[in-house]
């Protein structure tokens, strides 16, 4: 394999408890004077969102609220946000919430200055070059969960309702200018949401590490992210007020999304169509698929997993690592099979057709075609490793 690659880690991250207090300063530093504040409907009604808007208002930064964002956001949400952005004469986005709210905010900032439809910028080849890069509005991202890492990502996921397909929209300048990662905003997050988002961070780190391309920077970040998950996720699930565990999980989420610029794989390639067709939580879906994909990829990744296992303080073997993943899932309440997510086989043919075409599929260390997708899906459905 040639030792060759293009690497970039430019996000400015303000990390630490209480740093939401710096929201107005970050907004100005990102070049905004009149942002559109993007969040989801539930969060919009909370003290967290009201405080954030209050911080902007107190600093003389008028911000309009946009909260028409559903879980697994769809194109209509983005179009409505773009219309609000243009109508209000806004000059950037402040986005607060979980991954889907942050993705929606980034997409609105990206599309508000474009003349082409959203699907022209799907993460295929060099489609991103079609965009007017200078027209992309700045973003300040404030996560309230610890999972997707969208606050440091150059892409966003949106569902094409016409064909019930999740698609990835990508552009290098979709990257937020500043991320404020305040673990206090995740305190009290429900246990299952903590578990699902935490396993999302873990799956990002794991898949990035297993992608066969040469990127030692991403590999190092990924393995440290997995160590943070190993030592903190169960703690955060058990005690929603454990600020140290919450902070470490927020760092793990940033690590995962930073590392996965290297690529992802079959976990995500399967989770995207399952989420689009069954409306499942993305992190929980990743968590269910993770051990089945690990087992399927074993021959190609065994040596790397042995090294990872040793770094995590486990016996340096593939089996030890797989057993730990299974034990962690059980400890934090992740279902062992897709049935636990109310997913059955009624859409298996569509999922098998969609998964190999997902932009993440190409990073899998083993050829991921329709046969592979069917094999893994059926094993995840039946609980066969």
Res. 1: pLDDT tops 60: no
Which among 146, 161, 185 is the end of a domain? 185
Domain match, 324 and 366 both: yes
Measured CA to CA, the distance from residue 228 to residue 233 in angstroms comes to 8
Tokens of 208: 């990035």
Q: Residue 258 and residue 223: Cα distance in Å, rounded? A: 12
- CATH code of the domain containing 208: 1.20.1090.10
Task: Give residue 167's Cα distance to chain centre.
Answer: 13
Residue 6 lies inside a defined structural domain of this protein? no
Structure confidence by residue, pLDDT tens digits, 75-99: 999 999 999 999 999 999 999 999 9
- Domain identity same for 177 and 74: yes
Residue 2 within a domain:
no
The whole-number average pLDDT for the span 9-30 is 93
What is the rounded CA–CA span in Å between residue 112 and residue 364?
34
Q: Please count the other Cβ atoms lying within 10 Å of the Cβ belonging to residue 93.
A: 32
- Taking CA atoms, 37 is separated from 92, 145, 290, in Å, by 9, 17, 35
pLDDT of the residue at 46? 95
CATH number of the structural domain spanning residue 84: 3.40.50.1970
Cβ atoms 281, 157 nearer than 8 A: no
DSSP E strand stretches across 259-361: none
Using one digit for the tens of pLDDT, what is the confidence trace for 138-161?
Answer: 999 999 999 999 999 999 999 999
The answer on 336 and 279 residing in a single domain is yes
Among the three residues 154, 185, 216, which one is the final residue of a domain in this structure?
A: 185
- Mean pLDDT for the chain overall: 95
What is the mean predicted confidence (pLDDT) over 308-316?
98
Burial of 12 (0-12, 13-18, 19+ CB in 10 A): middle
- Quick check: helix, strand or coil at residue 63? coil
List, in sequence order, every beta strand (DSSP E) within the chain. 12-15, 36-38, 64-66, 93-97, 139-143, 155-160, 165-170, 178-181
Question: Whose CA is closest to 200, among 227, 170, 233, 235?
Answer: 233
Q: Which of 152, 167, 185 is the last residue of a domain?
A: 185
Does residue 4 belong to any structural domain of this protein? no
* Helical spans, DSSP H, in 15-150: 23-29, 41-44, 47-58, 75-87, 99-111
Positive or negative: CA dihedral 341, 347, 353, 357 = negative
Same-domain pairing of 171 and 202:
no
Which pLDDT does position 21 carry in this prediction? 97
Angstrom distance (rounded) from CA 144 to CA 77:
20
Q: How far apart are CA 13 and CA 171, in angstroms?
A: 19
Helix 75-87 to helix 99-111 angle, to the nearest 10 degrees? Answer: 50
What is the extent of the structural domain holding 50? Answer: 12-185
Q: Do 110 and 23 share a structural domain?
A: yes
Tell me, yes or no, whether 288 and 162 share the same domain.
Answer: no
> In the structure, what pLDDT confidence band is assigned to residue 5 with cuts at 50, 70 and 90?
low
Same domain, yes or no, for 98 and 119? yes
DSSP string for residues in 32-43: -SS-EEE--HHH
- In a domain? residue 359: yes
Query: 22 with 142: CB under 8 angstroms?
Result: no
Q: What is the DSSP letter of 168?
A: E
Does 2 have pLDDT greater than 80? no
Q: Are residues 154 and 198 in the same domain?
A: no
Per DSSP, the three-state class of 95 is: strand
Residues 239 and 286 in one domain: yes
Share of the chain above pLDDT 70, in %: 98
Tell me, yes or no, whether 7 lies in a domain: no
Residue 323 resides in a domain: yes
- Count of domains observed in the chain: 2
Q: Say if residues 80 and 68 touch (Cβ distance below 8 Å).
A: yes
Shared-domain flag, residues 321 and 225: yes
How crowded is residue 312: how many other Cβ atoms within 10 Å of its Cβ? 17
295 falls within a domain = yes
What gap in Å lies between CA 81 and CA 85, rounded to an integer? 6
Q: Do residues 306 and 324 make contact, with C-beta atoms less than 8 angstroms apart?
A: no
Rounded Cα distance, 325 and 58, in Å = 46
Per-residue model confidence (pLDDT) at position 8: 64
Q: Are residues 132 and 64 in the same domain?
A: yes
- 3 in a structural domain: no
Tokens 């992210």 found at? 225
Give the closest residue to 287 by CA, choosing from 363, 341, 343, 211: 341
pLDDT in tens, 190-212: 999 999 999 999 999 999 999 99
Same domain for 199 and 97?
Answer: no
- C-alpha torsion angle, residues 232, 20, 67, 175 (rounded to 10): -80
């Amino acid at each position: 394999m040639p030792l060759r690659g293009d690497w970039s880690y430019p996000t400015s991250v303000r990390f630490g408890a209480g740093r939401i207090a710096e929201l107005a300063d970050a907004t100005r530093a990102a070049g905004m004077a009149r942002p559109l504040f993007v969040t989801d409907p539930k969060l919009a009604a909370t003290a967290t969102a009201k405080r954030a808007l209050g911080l902007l208002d107190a600093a003389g930064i008028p911000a309009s609220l946009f909260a028409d964002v559903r879980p697994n956001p769809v194109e209509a949400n983005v179009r409505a946000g773009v219309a609000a952005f243009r109508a209000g004469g806004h000059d950037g986005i402040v986005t607060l919430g979980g991954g889907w709210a942050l993705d929606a905010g980034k997409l609105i900032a990206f599309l508000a200055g474009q003349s082409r439809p959203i699907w022209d910028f799907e993460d295929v080849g060099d489609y991103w070059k079609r965009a007017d890069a200078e027209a992309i509005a700045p973003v300040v991202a404030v996560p309230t969960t610890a999972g997707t890492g969208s606050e440091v990502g150059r892409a966003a996921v949106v569902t094409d309702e016409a064909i019930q397909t999740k698609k990835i929209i990508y552009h290098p300048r979709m990257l937020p200018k500043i991320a404020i990662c305040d673990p206090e905003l995740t305190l009290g997050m429900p246990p299952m949401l903590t578990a699902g988002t935490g396993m999302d961070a873990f799956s990002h780190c794991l898949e990035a590490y297993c992608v066969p391309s040469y990127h030692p920077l991403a590999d190092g970040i990924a393995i440290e992210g997995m160590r943070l998950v190993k030592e903190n996720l169960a703690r955060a699930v058990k005690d929603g007020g454990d600020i140290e565990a919450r902070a470490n999980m927020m760092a793990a989420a940033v690590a995962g999304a930073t590392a996965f610029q290297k690529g992802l794989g079959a976990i995500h390639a399967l989770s995207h169509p399952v989420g689009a067709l069954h409306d499942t939580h993305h992190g929980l879906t990743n968590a269910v698929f993770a051990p089945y994909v690990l087992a399927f990829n074993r021959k190609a990744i065994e040596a790397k997993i042995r090294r990872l296992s040793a770094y995590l303080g486990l016996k340096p073997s593939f089996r030890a690592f797989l057993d730990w993943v299974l034990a962690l899932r059980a400890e934090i309440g992740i279902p062992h099979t897709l049935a636990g997510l109310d997913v059955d086989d009624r859409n298996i043919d569509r999922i098998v057709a969609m998964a190999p075409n997902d932009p993440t599929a190409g990073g899998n260390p083993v050829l991921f075609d329709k046969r592979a997708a069917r094999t893994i899906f059926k094993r995840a459905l039946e609980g066969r490793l």
